[in-house]
Structure 1
Amino acid sequence: MPQRQGRIRIHGHGEVEVALVEEYLADLKHAYESLLVFESVMDGFKRVSREFPFPVYPGLMYGWPLGPRRAVRYVRDWPPTADEVSSLVPHSEQLILSAVRLSSPGFWEFLGKINPLEVIRQYLNDRHERRKDREYRESAEERRLRLENIKLENEAIAGRVRIAKELGATDKDLAPLLNELVNKPLLALDRHQDKDIIEHAEIDNDQDRNER
């Protein structure tokens, strides 16, 4: 089933150096695209499993399938670069900047596919709530557990992982995909919250609004 279109509003502050804005937009774009590609890979495994057992390709260095919806493409080296990930995102699914208010407080508003936007919203809000305690310092283990909880709570990720495991995938098989296409891109957003460029986020589902 095609994903619905969504709108995310990420609250933040104005009067930010241009270089920091460039880094923020690049990291947000990469997180969004990586999550889209992760879903595509998982969906691709489901399709090819009808003919081949999982995993179809046992080694990342020898060609891991990063599949657009109607084809299977390969990355010869792992991890894929941001440009390689971006090349796998159809034009119709790219992240669109739809509105900006550069006051303090202000916001950044983007259009895109609902599933990756919801993961980003959940991640930013979870971390924003924790940062309200100025004494809070997150250890590496706490950060890992927070990511695991978000992945378990989000059906777009959890459902696909569950299906992959039903097809024979192990945690070891899935770890490179989860680390490079989910964990690291989301963690890259931390620095922008730490610099108060962004704070929390909210989702406006365009389809739900149109059906009212």
Structure 2
Amino acid sequence: MALQEIQQPRDYTYFLDYVKHLGMLLFTISMTTPVLGLIVFDVETEIVEGEKVIDSQLIWDKPFLPYVAGFLILVIHWFKFVEVHHSMRSTNLNQILITFGYFFLLCLYPYFEMNIEFTSDQPHSRAIFSGVWGLLGIFSYWKLHHAKKNDMLKEDMTNERIKVLSNEILADPVVALACIGLSYISFLAWLAGMVALVPIANYLLARTSIRAGH
């Protein structure tokens, strides 16, 4: 009687380096694309009274603050992504799929960020951008807790640090949800929410973990 070979679960650990390099590439593209869009000299041709008129747009003619706020949000996401990924000692197919869901949203982020320049007066445009930003936080939270549940994290990622980092990650979807509501109030209210609420939410949620003894 032939011995049946026991099927061992596939080892996906070698994907960690590839995912890391792909993540750094996508973060670089997502961070630099809006910056290039901001500094590039735009020239548009308009028809005014039957004649072509060239209209130029310089950096100071563009909505500068949304670009800065959007860039800083990505910087915060980069720090959290690097910490989570650096703390992983193994991975599996589901974890890779969650990460690619995160990458998909990361690719969409600069498109909706740059779209604000042309549709800043449209509440739904601001709300969609805030929604993508919030989903980035949700996928980041999912990535961390899926790794914890499946014992994929290194020993130096303690339970205390996981709880604090979880709260810091949750700051993004919480603030993004608030900004979706602010989108329908006014552009300035939405912008103020992006600039002010992110550090406030990070501080308060981190303090919540500390006071709870975590």
**TM-score in same-fold range (> 0.5):** no
Please give the TM-score of this superposition, normalised by the length of structure 1. 0.27
Please give the TM-score of this superposition, normalised by the length of structure 2. 0.27
Greater strand percent: which structure?
A: 1
Q: State which structure, 1 or 2, has the greater radius of gyration over its C-alpha atoms.
A: 2
Greater helix percent: which structure?
A: 2
